[in-house]
Amino acid sequence: MSSEDFLKTFPPEDVAAPEVPPQKEPLPAFAPSARFGKFGVPHGITLRDVARLIFKYKWTLIIPPILSVSLAVAYTMVSVPWYQATATVQIQPNELAALAPTASLERQKNLLNDQVQLLRSDTMLERVVEVLRLDTRMASLLGEETPSADRVTGAIRILKENILSIQPVMDANFITITAILPNADLAATIPNTLAEEYVIAVQERIASQANQLSGRYEDEARKIQEELEKIDGKITTFLAQHGIPDIAQRFESLRAQADRIEIELRDAKRDEGRLTRNIEALEEQLKKEPPTIASTTQVASNPQYTQIKSYLDQLQLQRTSLTGTWKEGSKRLETLDKQIEEAQAALSQLEPETIAAKLSVVNPRHNQILDELVRLRPLLEANREDIKTLSEAQGNINDQLSGFVSIRQEYNDLLAEKNRISAQLDFAKERARTAQTTGKFANEIAEVKISDHARKPLGPSGPNHVIHVLVGLLMGVGLGVGLAVLREVLNHSIETAHDVQKFLGVPLLGSIPEKALGRR
């Protein structure tokens, strides 16, 4: 309300407003000095000032601690003692997720938190309520008006909010289950029952999951078996199309033939070089040796006739020996026949005996060289024929191998696909057997176990009288000091009527000094 509105409430000119007697400025609590700030609070306080303030506000500093300590003592005396017990469950995350598919293995890091949520779930707590009949034993907490159908839900809510504390120990893969109750026996029974029911639930879940996985892997095995039969049919059709009963055996046979021909061709070329060198050496020697040696005149056989006759006999003998080895019409036999015909024609033009005044005797070394040449030249021709035949055979084998490479590669691809499918089939069957075994012996799997059972506490865990008293004392001291500081600040901030009007925003009609108020 403004000052004008306030003045308008008085009767005009009839009743005069009371005059406010001038007030003397109260003396400050401290001697005025440069140490005082904006509100008159000193910038620096001495020990003497502190002692004066403590004495001035002694009851403000004493009464709040006494009251707060008294309230704390009364609270501890009235409070019902409570008992605390803890059970510990050990979790093996890797073993627990061993049967799950690969995608769920990524959730192993969150498995411990998942198990904590499972322990806190209504399903697990409902099993504890049913086993311990907590809906009946907690009837006083639930209220008489609570319907029987809602008592289980109420008991679960009380367990969650007021009794149970379930915390994971990440580094050690443990879960602690703590219960706080006024009943010592029940404080130990509830964590143990929850841990036991949790272990049973996990074992049931393992058995159920194992049965599901077993069926899944068996279905996969059947599908993979069908794929394996299809790939076997493809392999059989492929072999039938190419007329090859065994790809590996056929390839090894071609490879062996190629190696054998290569060795024979190499040996034939080596023999060709050796025969060529021997013939060239004999021809050089033949040039140095004369065919005849001079002697007395007499009648003797024609040496040329004898030589050609001997050469013809050798050719015929060689022709007879090669009749069973080489086919009729082969180049080698044709060459021998041609040489025989030439020798017979030359022999028909000569006389077996020659009468001369001077008889020439045949040089035996010359004849020996000729005989060796006659023997080696057919061998060289035959060797060259062998080289030509082997070269053609080698070309044919290489062509077959080149064409067989693509066939063999396609066959190897089909075989690799078959091996891959076979490995998948074996893996699926093994997983199915493992799942069946796990489901059968789920109760014996130590993936989850109770490492420590909760024991009945020997004494109450609370309330702690000393802590309550100390907290009450600290709160009382803090409250007393705060009130004393507030009063001191107000005393130096609002000292005159003008200060009151300034801070409250309303006009002040008058003021009563503190001493005068005390005298009244």
Would you kindly state where each structural domain of the chain is located, as residue ranges? 3-78+480-519, 83-216, 292-362
What pLDDT shows up at residue 24?
47
Write the single-letter amino acid at 394: Q
Secondary structure, 3-state, 108-140: HHHHHHHHHHHHHCHHHHHHHHHHHCHHHHCHH
Q: Which two tokens stand for residue 232?
A: 């076997």
Candidates 442, 451, 440; CA nearest to 96 is 442
What pLDDT shows up at residue 116?
86
**239-248: pLDDT as tens digits:** 787 777 777 7
**59-90: pLDDT as tens digits:** 888 898 889 888 888 877 777 787 889 999 88
- Please state the rounded mean pLDDT for residues 286-312: 72
In this structure, how many other beta carbons lie within 10 angstroms of the beta carbon of residue 128?
23
| CA terminus-to-terminus distance, the chain | 31
Is residue 166 within 8 Å of 120, Cβ to Cβ? yes
Residue 45 φ then ψ, to 5°: -125, 135
What pLDDT shows up at residue 177?
92
Q: Which of 7-21, 134-148, 206-220, 458-472 has the lowest mean pLDDT?
A: 7-21
**349-375: pLDDT as tens digits:** 777 766 554 556 677 888 888 888 888
Write the single-letter amino acid at 464: N
What pLDDT shows up at residue 495?
66
Residue 464 φ then ψ, to 5°: -90, 110
pLDDT grade for 341, boundaries at 50, 70 and 90: confident
Secondary element (H or E) of residue 153: helix 148-158
What's the rounded Cα separation, in Å, for the pair 26 and 18? 22
Residue 106, helix vs strand vs coil:
helix
What's the rounded Cα separation, in Å, for the pair 73 and 9? 55
Is residue 312 within 8 Å of 347, Cβ to Cβ? yes
Characterise 166 by phi-psi region: left (phi > 0), alpha (psi -120 to 50), beta (else): beta
**370-382: pLDDT as tens digits:** 888 888 888 889 8
β-pair partners for 270 = none
DSSP state of 352: S
CA distance readout (Å), 85 to 82, 88, 162, 453, 460: 10, 10, 14, 9, 10
- Please state the rounded mean pLDDT for residues 272-287: 88
**147-157: pLDDT as tens digits:** 766 788 888 88
pLDDT grade for 144, boundaries at 50, 70 and 90: low
Q: Is 193 exposed, middle or buried (0-12, 13-18, 19+ CB in 10 A)?
A: buried
**Crossing angle of the two packed helices 364-440 and 184-242, in degrees rounded to 10:** 150
Characterise 494 by phi-psi region: left (phi > 0), alpha (psi -120 to 50), beta (else): beta
Q: Which of 307-311, 358-362, 384-388, 476-480 has the lowest mean pLDDT?
A: 358-362
Res 409 pLDDT > 70: yes
**Residue that has been written with the tokens 């006024």 in this structure:** 182
pLDDT grade for 263, boundaries at 50, 70 and 90: very high
Is residue 320 within 8 Å of 274, Cβ to Cβ? no
Is residue 460 within 8 Å of 91, Cβ to Cβ? no
Candidates 90, 119, 100, 92; CA nearest to 438 is 100
Res 42 pLDDT > 70: no
- Please state the rounded mean pLDDT for residues 112-134: 87
What's the rounded Cα separation, in Å, for the pair 470 and 464? 10
pLDDT grade for 5, boundaries at 50, 70 and 90: very low
Non-local (6+) Cβ contacts of 162 within 8 A are 180
Res 497 pLDDT > 60: yes
